[in-house]
Amino acid sequence: MSQRPLDILNKALGSSVLVGLKGGREFRGKLSGFDVHVNLVLEEAEELQSGEATKRYGTMVIRGDSVVFISPAR
């Protein structure tokens, strides 16, 4: 049976994810919430450049209209 995108996000709650945004910025953090617009709440969020953490933010809200991809983080 196929899964819907929000079902997959629901399974990722509490897990570390990598989020790519329009403009090329990337953030990594623990997914603690989302809504039907794919607005995301990340805890322990950090910005990445070339795969390396460059800035730590703590808790962050990301607007869904700026999200390009969401992937499991390593």
Q: For 8-63, write each residue's pLDDT tens digit.
A: 999 999 999 999 999 999 999 999 999 999 999 999 999 999 989 999 999 999 99
Q: 58 is in which domain, residue-wise? A: 5-69
Collapsed DSSP state (helix, strand, coil) of residue 12: helix
Pairing of strands 16-21, 52-62: unpaired
The pLDDT, as a whole number, for residue 3 is: 83
Task: Tell me whether residue 57 is in a domain.
Answer: yes
Residue 1 pLDDT greater than 60, yes or no: no
Q: For position 54, which CATH number holds? A: 2.30.30.100
Task: Tell me whether residue 46 is in a domain.
Answer: yes
Q: In total, how many domains does the chain have?
A: 1
Task: Tell me whether residue 61 is in a domain.
Answer: yes
The pLDDT, as a whole number, for residue 73 is: 85
Task: Tell me whether residue 9 is in a domain.
Answer: yes
CB 59 within 8 A of CB 5: no
Task: Tell me whether residue 13 is in a domain.
Answer: yes
CB 55 within 8 A of CB 47: yes
Task: Count Cα atoms within 13 angstroms, Cβ side, for 38.
Answer: 16
Task: Tell me whether residue 74 is in a domain.
Answer: no
The pLDDT, as a whole number, for residue 27 is: 98
